[in-house]
Amino acid sequence: YKNQISVVPFSSSTRDRILAITQSFLHTALETHRGGMKAWDKGSPHGNFNFLVLPPSKVLEYFLRSYVRSLAPYYTLINGGTLDPNELMLNNQASTLLLLLMIATGATSVQTSEARCLTAGLTETCRISLFNIIEKDVELSADPVVLRCALLFTILGAWSGDAWHMNIAMGQRGMYLSVSVAKRTLSFRTT
């Protein structure tokens, strides 16, 4: 099954767009954590931690292929036989969030401190952005892309090994499940 889904290479403009949107998500996360970040800044040599550097496109593609190998056989999160990050980036913030969560999921298979740091950072950044997207427009909580984001966040958080993400993921899974059930109930009533 894993060989049936191919990953399209990132175009240079896609990588630029994902970096810009990820940067805006990061700033939202930093604003949310402002009090904790100020305390951390005082004792840290990295006091100006307000930008994100993504790995090269080939590494991002590797993470997406790793995601496909690990989750695609169990969850149908990819329509058709191709995962095209360039196409995902053309849609909206939720599809960018989905792509970032796919990258973070794929990065979990790499046993380096850089990959773990990227996964933790993207997980937290995406958690806050996902919450903000739903909070701004509650009807988006029934959007299939947003529900896919919720599923990936829950999986990432639950298996992260980080107590904070594990607790939040388990706490929010009920909310995401109830939204998913409500969406299915409404779709059955309208058909």
Rounded to two decimals, the pTM is: 0.80
Two tokens, residue 126: 């995406």
Which residues, listed in sequence order, are joined to residue 6 by a DSSP beta bridge?
82
CA distance 22 to 83: 19
Taking only the tens of pLDDT, the chain with its 191 residues reads: 445 788 999 998 898 888 888 888 887 877 877 654 444 444 433 344 556 778 999 999 999 999 998 887 777 767 778 889 999 887 788 899 999 999 999 999 999 999 998 998 899 899 999 988 888 887 777 788 888 898 899 889 888 888 878 888 887 777 666 655 555 554 545 55
In angstroms and rounded to an integer, the radius of gyration of the C-alpha atoms of the chain is: 17
Cβ-proximal residues to 64 (8 Å cutoff; 6+ apart), any chain = 7, 83, 85, 102, 103, 106
Q: Give me the pLDDT at residue 64, please.
A: 94
Phi, psi dihedrals of residue 108, rounded to the nearest 5°: -65, -20
Two tokens, residue 25: 């998500």
Are 95 and 102 in contact by the 8 Å Cβ rule? The answer is no
CA atoms within 13 A on the CB side of 33: 18
